[in-house]
């Protein structure tokens, strides 16, 4: 696959550094929710390490605080995190064809919006060690932020906690702004996606649909339309 695994891992570390810092900041808010739900700091950190999803964790902590049962929480987690199935399918096509099942399972377990963004943007076929490098900084950032959020999050002003969460959105935008600047088609699809997401969030017709299902519907519909309208010829990918 060209460069060594160590080289790919170092590239992943570089891409994962801002993700880890962003996760650390955002996880403070989750730590506050976890504390209100009765979690200790180690329990909350372990939850973040295993779930790796802000929306999923927020839903879980809120439901646990409300006294929901195991089955209710499990079903809501499935719905809230369903979009990661699509991301895993997409990354499975990006990986080198000879990538083993164990690598695919590990990457599928830790697919998040931002890790997916940097991984899918890597040139050529994806070496799993690139994603491992991103995970190596993103995962501890998420877990440590939740841990400290339980311990001291309630001591921070609400305005600061809210401001920290905004940074992650800005970081995620960095994954699609460069290709949108290079391609009018990508730019158009981004704008259409934003408009459709806004419509789904505001129109009463879609009020009963969960955010996870909305994401799946929009992703499948827009990506399928783009594949039909703007097909790309199959090309042999060069090693980076």
- Cα dist. 10→115, 131, 132, 207 in Å? 15, 10, 10, 44
CA distance 135 to 105: 14
CA distance 56 to 215: 14
Long-range contacts of 82-87 (CB under 8 A, 24+ apart): 82/212, 82/213, 82/215, 82/216, 83/212, 83/215, 83/216, 83/219, 84/53, 84/111, 84/112, 85/216, 86/216, 86/219, 86/220, 87/111, 87/113, 87/116
Residue-level pLDDT at 158: 67
The answer to whether 101 and 109 are in contact (CB under 8 A) is no
- Collect all residues with Cβ–Cβ distance below 8 Å to 43 and sequence separation of at least 6: 34
For residue 4, the SS3 value is coil
Residue-level pLDDT at 157: 72
Residue-level pLDDT at 192: 92
Residue-level pLDDT at 203: 82
Query: Model's pTM, two decimal places?
Result: 0.70
Q: What is the pLDDT along the chain (240 residues), one digit of tens a residue?
A: 568 899 999 999 999 998 888 888 888 878 888 888 899 999 999 999 888 887 788 888 888 888 888 888 888 788 778 778 888 888 888 998 888 999 999 898 888 888 998 998 888 899 999 999 999 999 999 999 999 989 886 677 767 766 666 655 665 676 677 778 888 888 898 899 889 888 888 888 777 776 667 777 887 788 888 888 887 665 444 444
- Collect all residues with Cβ–Cβ distance below 8 Å to 178 and sequence separation of at least 6: 121
The answer to whether 179 and 187 are in contact (CB under 8 A) is no
Q: Which of 34, 11, 17, 43 is nearest to 153 (CA)?
A: 34
For residue 23, the SS3 value is helix
Residue-level pLDDT at 14: 93
Q: Which of 37, 223, 12, 40 is nearest to 129 (CA)?
A: 12
Rounded to 5 degrees, φ, ψ at 72 are -60, -45
CA 162 centroid distance within chain = 19
């Amino acid at each position: 696959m060209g460069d060594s695994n160590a080289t790919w891992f170092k590239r992943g570390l570089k891409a994962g550094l801002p993700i880890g810092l962003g996760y650390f900041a955002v996880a403070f808010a989750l730590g506050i929710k976890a504390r209100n739900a009765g979690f200790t700091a180690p329990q909350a950190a372990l939850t973040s390490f295993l779930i790796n999803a802000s929306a999923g964790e927020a839903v879980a902590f809120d439901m646990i605080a409300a006294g929901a049962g195991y089955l209710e929480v499990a079903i809501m987690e499935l719905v809230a995190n369903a979009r990661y199935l699509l991301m895993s399918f997409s990354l499975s096509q990006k990986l080198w064809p000879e990538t083993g099942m164990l690598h695919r399972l590990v990457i599928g377990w830790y697919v998040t919006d931002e890790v997916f963004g940097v991984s899918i943007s890597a040139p050529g076929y994806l070496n799993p060690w690139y994603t491992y490098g991103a995970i190596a900084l993103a995962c501890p950032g998420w877990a440590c932020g939740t841990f400290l959020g339980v311990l001291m999050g309630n001591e921070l002003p609400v305005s600061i906690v809210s401001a920290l969460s905004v940074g992650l959105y800005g970081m995620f935008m960095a994954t699609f702004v460069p290709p949108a600047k290079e391609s009018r088609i990508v730019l158009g699809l981004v704008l259409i996606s934003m408009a459709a997401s806004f419509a789904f969030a505001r129109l009463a017709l879609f009020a009963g649909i969960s955010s996870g299902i909305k994401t799946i519907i929009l992703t499948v519909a827009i990506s399928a339309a783009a594949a039909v309208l703007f097909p790309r010829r199959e090309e042999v990918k060069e090693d980076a």
